[in-house]
Structure 1
Amino acid sequence: MIVLMSCNDRPGIVSILSDIVFRNKGNILDLQQHVEIEENRYFMRLSIDNSTLTNDSKNKIKEEINNSFIDFDAKISFFDEITPISIGVFVTKESLPLYDILIKHNSGELNCNIPIIISNHEDLKYIADNFNIPFAHFSIDADSKFDQEKKIIKILKDYKVDLVVLARYMQILTSNFVKNFTSINIHHSFLPAFKGKNPYKQAWDKGVKIIGATAHYVTEELDEGPIISQDVFPVNHNFSVKKLIEVGQNIERRVLTSALKSHLEHKIIIYKGRTIVFY
Structure 2
Amino acid sequence: MAVDQLSSIPLTKDQAYALVDAVMERDDLALTASAHENEETGEWIFEATCDSPPDVDSFVELARQTLGGAVEFSVAPVDPEINWVAKSLEGLAPVIAGGFYVYGSHETGPVPGGLTPMKIDAAQAFGTGHHETTTGCLEAIDKVLKRRRPRHMLDVGTGTGVLAIALAKRTRTSVIASDIDPVSVTTTIDNAAQNGVGKLIVALEATGVNHSTIIRNAPYDLIVANILAGPLAALAPAIGRIAGRGATVILSGILEHQARGVINAYARQGMVLNQKLQRKDWTTLILEMP
Does the pair score TM above 0.5?
Answer: no
- Normalising to structure 2: TM-score of the pair? 0.33
Please identify the structure whose Cα radius of gyration is greater.
1
- Normalising to structure 1: TM-score of the pair? 0.34
Higher relative contact order (CA 8 A, sep 6+): 1
